[in-house]
Structure 1
Amino acid sequence: MNAEIITIGDEILLGQIVDSNSAWIGQQLNLLNIRVRQITSIADKAQDITQSLSLASSRAELIIVTGGLGPTKDDVTRQTISTYFNKPLVRDAAVLKHVETLFKRFAPDRMMPEINKAQADVLDGCEVLFNDVGTAPGMWIEHQQIKYVFLPGVPFEMKFLTTNRILPKLRDGQREAVAHRHIITIGLGESFLAREITDIEESLPESIKLAYLPKLGLVRLRLTQIGESESSIDYFHNLLVERLGRHVVSTSDISLEQAIVESFTQKGLKLATAESCTGGGIASSITSVPGASCIFDCGIVAYHNTIKQNLLGVDPKVLDQYGAVSEQTVIQMAEGVKKLSHADYAIASSGIAGPGGGTPEKPVGTVWIAVSGKNKTISRLFNFQNSREINIERSIAQALAMLWNLYIEELDN
């Protein structure tokens, strides 16, 4: 089945919000082997919606539309699809009662405006996708052998309806079983990784496809099998895991941060961070993972040298002789925060993220990272580019990769 995703909202086109809905929906459809042919973002205009629906219907069998289902005049999706399908809007009593109940709960002292009742208006003959977590319901419409799904644009409402209303219907209609297996790797670039497993990849049967999904610091491998017994995909999955050995971080579809949290939790290990140029980004990436409180002791953003000295114990002579952005300083930062927190592992970063602050000796993009482990401390110099955002992102990715590699090394020893 081919699908197309249409997101409606001027705020997307103006760059005020990022269209995360399409990425998430695409991921869910991929797990069902439903191929997304195109993603389109359009304005809250009837003409644009009509034109997009017409074009999508010529390419896809499933069309998912998010946005434009609010109660205000700029939300024109309902009226537009009424015209497009040549069917009237009707007020759904159950949805109206739900909207009134929600309004009373959150605004008990106010009378619900008449305009809010319009959120209970749905296309006549559609399947109403009841929205337990919001006011606007979704709509499932089948027209000329094409499935149309209209969802609210609020991400948590869209995800609820997709998970609880849409995906079960799509699974029920799936003719062939689809199986996925994942391998998260570190330490090998995409081309080097491909070279290592060329013979295995070439031996895959037609029913199994291998996808490379590179990201800063790691590469994800995804095996997808359509039909047949899952023993076949498991066989090749095991071959890849065995071949890649210590480069394998996880065989689940998780992030490196999640792998660190899970592994450190299992081993009873603690982590601390001392950051300068990354500004708390390393700590944030770890603490964004549920369960991080089991392994994360503290994170210190030591921008000023006095904090490096007084809190982390960096020697003033080291700062005077080598500077804040140096191997000597970042090592003392890592070892200092590990001592302060009594953690098992510590990460430290110091660099020139940019756009200013660089010198001929230490240009913008110069970053030192150190990781102190149970038995030793390692450090590494990176020379990135002139973009502050990219420099910080790359520093975080490399810091986590260094942490994982040292952890695995010490685990083996």
Structure 2
Amino acid sequence: MQSSVFGIGKELISAQIKDNNAYYISKRLNEIGVENRFIVFLDDSLDDIVQTINYFLTKTKLIITTGGLGPTFDDLTLQAVALAINDELILSQECLSEIELFYKKLYEEGKIAEKHLNVNRQKMAYVPKSAILLKNSVGAACGVYVKKDDFYIFCLPGVPAEMQTMFETQVEPILKSICTPNITQTQTIECNINDESLLGFISQEVTQKTHVYVKTLPQGFSSNTMSVRFSVNAPTKDQAQKELEKAISLFNELLSRFQSSKL
């Protein structure tokens, strides 16, 4: 399965805060065998979010969003998802109860002055009708999981502690149940030459002849060596390792031929 990860919020695209959510999610997806193809940052614009969801559903079967689930007027993620999948936005009593308990707890701890749910707090309980709720054990806003035909959308909070807890305890188990195992494995080697044009050509040859993606990692002209990374997806670790070994062997063979021809 392939995925797209969205970070939603003006604070992200204006660099007011540094996003770590996309890195975390992509890394976790990789570990469970999901190939993340896209990371996208979006403004708090309803039209932009709807159009972006629709576009990337043509590219990947899985979309994971972070942010835009809060109580403010520009938290629009769930409204956008409902529009994108042609679903109704409804008030979830289950979600409302979770939010009510959260604010009651804060009130009892003396952290807020008012425990009752105002309009903005109630706003967080509006979710797509077909959504399955993901409980938030750290914060107020529920996450949601939506399945549309053979596509999957997960909407998670933007606060890292909330997002990570929700991902590890609820999202990851669901993904493991719906994804075919696919292991991503990488290996990096050092070459004793620093000619990116040559190594790039050899890397392209190996990528075309094997199932392994080969990428040169330039270190600047002050170095006499260059790193080359080999990455492969396979159903098992053993198969992935065999594919890597085959590709590295071919790479070294082609490099050796070139170096011999220059003698």
TM over 0.5: yes
Segments of 5+ residues of structure 2 without an aligned counterpart are: 221-225, 253-263
**Alpha-carbon distance in 1 for matches of 2:189, 2:160:** 27
Residues 11 and 59 of structure 1: CA distance in aligned 2, closer, same or farther (over 3 Å): same
What does residue 92 of structure 1 align with?
94
What does residue 149 of structure 2 align with?
144
Residue 69 of structure 2 aligns to which amino acid in structure 1? Answer: L
* Contact kept in structure 1, 2:190 and 2:228, CA below 8 Å: yes
Q: Within 5 A, what are the aligned runs for 1:328-339?
A: none
Segments of 5+ residues of structure 1 without an aligned counterpart are: 245-413
Residues 232 and 216 of structure 1: CA distance in aligned 2, closer, same or farther (over 3 Å): closer
Residues 104 and 33 of structure 1: CA distance in aligned 2, closer, same or farther (over 3 Å): same
* Contact kept in structure 2, 1:223 and 1:233, CA below 8 Å: no
Per the TM alignment, residue 70 of structure 1 is displaced from its structure 2 partner at its CA by 0.7
SS state at 1:5 partner? strand
Residue 53 in structure 1 maps to residue 58 in structure 2: no
Residue 178 of structure 1 aligns to which amino acid in structure 2? Answer: I
Between 1 and 2, higher relative CO (CA 8 Å, sep ≥ 6) is seen in 2
What does residue 122 of structure 1 align with?
127
Q: Larger C-alpha radius of gyration, 1 or 2? A: 1
Residues 57 and 101 of structure 1: CA distance in aligned 2, closer, same or farther (over 3 Å): same
With normalisation by structure 1, the TM-score equals 0.48
Q: Which residue of the other structure, out of 182, 185, 188, is the alignment partner of 1:180? A: 185
Residues 118 and 28 of structure 1: CA distance in aligned 2, closer, same or farther (over 3 Å): same
Per the TM alignment, residue 10 of structure 1 is displaced from its structure 2 partner at its CA by 1.2
Per the TM alignment, residue 44 of structure 1 is displaced from its structure 2 partner at its CA by 1.0
Number of residue equivalences: 239
Residue 104 of structure 1 aligns to which amino acid in structure 2? Answer: Y
Per the TM alignment, residue 123 of structure 1 is displaced from its structure 2 partner at its CA by 2.5
* Contact kept in structure 1, 2:46 and 2:80, CA below 8 Å: yes
Residues 87 and 63 of structure 1: CA distance in aligned 2, closer, same or farther (over 3 Å): same
Q: Which residue of the other structure, out of 214, 217, 232, is the alignment partner of 1:224? A: 232
**Alpha-carbon distance in 2 for matches of 1:203, 1:233:** 16
Task: Provide the alpha-carbon RMSD of the alignment.
Answer: 3.9
CA deviation map 1:227-259 (0-9, x unaligned) = 25617616956997xxx9xxxxxxxxxxxxxxx
Residues 10 and 194 of structure 1: CA distance in aligned 2, closer, same or farther (over 3 Å): same
Residue 139 of structure 1 aligns to which amino acid in structure 2? Answer: V
**Alpha-carbon distance in 2 for matches of 1:73, 1:232:** 47
SS state at 1:26 partner? helix
SS state at 2:185 partner? strand
Q: Which residue of the other structure, out of 93, 105, 110, is the alignment partner of 2:113? A: 110
* Contact kept in structure 2, 1:91 and 1:122, CA below 8 Å: no
Q: Within 5 A, what are the aligned runs for 1:55-70?
A: 55-70=55-70
